[in-house]
Amino acid sequence: RKEVEQDPGPFNVPEGATVAFNCTYSNSASQSFFWYRQDCRKEPKLLMSVYSSGNEDGRFTAQLNRASQYISLLIRDSKLSDSATYLCVVTNQAGTALIFGKGTTLSVSS
């Protein structure tokens, strides 16, 4: 079983749509969780951390379910500029390195 699994997509949505991405992770000892964004031919960049209580940053909402080892990202009112690959990320057991999913590709069209 892969350590972090994501639906690769692509998710093709119109502007203004709400879209949700999910991911599962295998190591119950992982302590920290993140969503990274990667634009085409660019480096990954931190989008937001994910907390057990859920957290929101503008149009983006992240949720964590530790019992199910499940992480989600919700994007409301999608913009063209949201088109990118979204990487689900967890820390290793020691908390010293990041483990990346292969990413989910989002394409927002006008």
Partner 1 sequence: DAGVIQSPRHEVTEMGQEVTLRCKPISGHNSLFWYRQTMMRGLELLIYFNNNVPIDDSGMPEDRFSAKMPNASFSTLKIQPSEPRDSAVYFCASSLVGGIETQYFGPGTRLLVL
- Minimum CB separation of residue 90 from partner 1 in Å reads 11
Binding site for partner 1 (CB under 8 A): 32, 34, 42-46, 49, 87, 91, 95-103
Q: In the bound complex, what is the minimum distance in angstroms from residue 110's beta carbon to partner 1?
A: 27
Give me the phi and psi of 9, to 5 degrees please.
Answer: 80, -150
CB of 83 to partner 1, least distance (A): 18
Please say which residue, 17 or 98, places its beta carbon nearer to partner 1: 98
94-98-102-106 Cα dihedral, nearest 10 degrees:
130
Nearer to partner 1, 44 or 78 (CB): 44
For residue 43, what are the CA distances in angstroms to 12, 37, 73, 98, 109? Answer: 22, 9, 20, 15, 23
**Residue nearer to partner 1 on the CB measure, 29 or 46:** 46
Residues 23 and 4: their CA atoms lie apart, in Å, by 7
